[in-house]
Each structure stands twice: as structure tokens, then as C-alpha cells.
Chains A and B, each alone.
Chain A
Amino acid sequence: MTNEQIRDFIQNAIAENRVMLFMKGTPEQPACGFSMRTSAALNALGVQYAALDILPDPRIRQELSAISNWPTIPQLFIDGELIGGCDIVTELYESGELAEQLGVAQPQHEPEPPTADAPQSAPLGVENRLS
């Protein structure tokens, strides 16, 4: 697979999925604490999202960062726009802005994102054709 094909795949994933998370590992088995906290915030909101593991090929991260001009993983996109990484997503979750942007109710009972909850709705399978 060429770098151009990887870049096209990433751009399509961002364009085709309203809530698109690039992470290390999967929502079920995150491979990094920052990725875990970010997917946990989405899980707590109960929104459907697509997730792609960037670990299978180092070029995924290179191409993603070239597209987004953002150096770290995870990266959350909503409606094709980069929202941020773990810090920003966590801040937006805690302030209620993330729920507002996604049009869902802010969970009242848990002010902090649960860290180890399973997704409330199964993440959309983005078939990882980059592995």
C-alpha cells in the first residue's frame, strides 16, 4: 500500500464518519492511557463513533499528522473537523460542550469519564485495510 493510498483512506474515514477517532488500539482494547480516556468519554456519552487503530503501520500516524497538523494520538474528528486529542476532548467532555456538539445529553451521574467501561453502542467498524 502506498502512502497516497493510506492518506486517501484516512481522508475518506474522516469524511464518511461523523465522529471519527484515531487511536492506539481499539475502544475495546486501548493500547495507551490517552486513547483509553478519549474513547471512554465518547462511550460515556453513548454516541456512535468510528475508531481506527493507528498502530498496525507507522505510516498511518505520519499521514494522519500531515493531514491534521497535529502531532499526537489520539485525534478526534467531528463533522470532518479536528476537535483535538485527549486533553481537549476531556475538557470538552467535562464542560458539557462535547455532549452539546454531538447533540446528546451530558451524563449527570458521572462527572469524570469512566476509564474502563465498554462502549455503550458498538463502535462502527472501520475495516482496517491498512494493516
Chain B
Amino acid sequence: MPTTNELKERIESALPGSEANVEDLTGGGDHFRAEIVSERFAGLSRIEQHRLVYDVFGNEIGGPIHALSLKTTTPEGEQ
């Protein structure tokens, strides 16, 4: 079962320089919310920003990670 720390570390290592805050929405280890700040999101649409994060987990989304709610911003506060 994935933990919030594991998700945080995987996101931050896949997007160097990013900062991810991950919470377990239900306490059940399968519904997560991640708020991520990264330079990599600059100039990308929301869809593209979220795909970057979903791609970190591949088939685990919808599997062991039932839901991953995302909020993505750049350090300048752009969405």
C-alpha cells in the first residue's frame, strides 16, 4: 500500500526541484491528494501538467492508487 511519503518522494524525484505535499484523503492508503509546485509546469496546460504527474505512477493509478487528486502550480503561482 503506497504511503504519502512514498508518493511525495516519487513525484519530487521525477520532477527535480519540485515540492509536493501529499495527503491521504481517507486514511485508507488509496485516495490521495497532491499539491505540487514545479518549474516544469510553466507554459503547460493543466491537462499536460497533470499528465506529467500521472505518468510517474502509470498503471498504479486506478490500481493500488485508486484516486490521485492534483493541484499543480509553478513557483510563480501560475496554474
Contacts and interface: CB of A to CB of B under 8 A. Distances in A.
Interface of A: 34, 61, 65, 69-72, 82-88, 91-92
A84 B67 contact: no
23 contacts: A34-B67, A34-B69, A65-B62, A69-B51, A70-B47, A70-B51, A71-B54, A71-B61, A71-B62, A72-B62, A72-B67, A72-B68, A82-B47, A83-B47, A84-B50, A86-B69, A87-B50, A87-B69, A87-B70, A88-B50, A91-B46, A91-B71, A91-B79
Contacts of A86: 69
Contacts of B50: 84-85, 87-88
Interface residues of B, number: 13
Interface of B: 46-47, 50-51, 54, 61-62, 67-71, 79
By Cβ-Cβ distance, the 6 closest A-B pairs, closest first, are: A71-B61, A88-B46, A71-B54, A87-B70, A87-B69, A71-B62
